[in-house]
Amino acid sequence: MLGSAGPRRPAAGGATSRGLQPAAAIGSLGTVYLTYNASNGKNCVATIRNNPGAAVDMALWIEVPETWERGEDYGRYTSYAGPAYVYGKGHCVDWGGGISNVHVQVYNSNCGALKEHRVTEVR
C-alpha cells in the first residue's frame, strides 16, 4: 500500500484475487480493512481516512490469538496507516484501527462458525 501513487482502496463488494475483504467503519472518519491472501496464508490490515489532510493520530493492529503473532502501526499520518501482516491460515484473527479518538475493534474474524464481535469507541 505504500508508494508514491497513494493508497489503493479495496474493491467495492469486498472480493478480489487476494480474498475476502472485511471492513469496519471508524465512525465517519475512515475505514480499517482486512485482507487475506490464500496463496501465502497472510492477513493484512490497513486504515484509510475518508478525507486525507493534516496529519492526525492513526492506528491499526492485527493479532492471531492462538499464536500471539501480532502486527501494528501507530503514528501521525495524512491519509493511511499500515499495512501490517500476520500469518493466520486456519486461525481466527482479531483486528482493528483508529483515527483521532475513534477506534474500532473486531474479534473472532474469519472464524467460520464463530460470530464476529465488533466494538466502536470514542476515547
- Spatial distance between the Cα atoms of 69 and 63, rounded to a whole number of angstroms: 6
What is the model's pTM?
A: 0.78
Residue 114 confidence (pLDDT) above 90: no
Which residues have CB under 8 Å from 14's CB, separation 6+? 20, 21, 22, 23
What is the tens place of the pLDDT at every residue in 58-90? 999 999 999 999 999 999 999 999 999 999 888
The model's confidence at residue 22, banded by pLDDT at 50, 70 and 90, is: confident
Three-state DSSP class for residue 76: strand
What is the tens place of the pLDDT at every residue in 36-47? 898 999 999 999
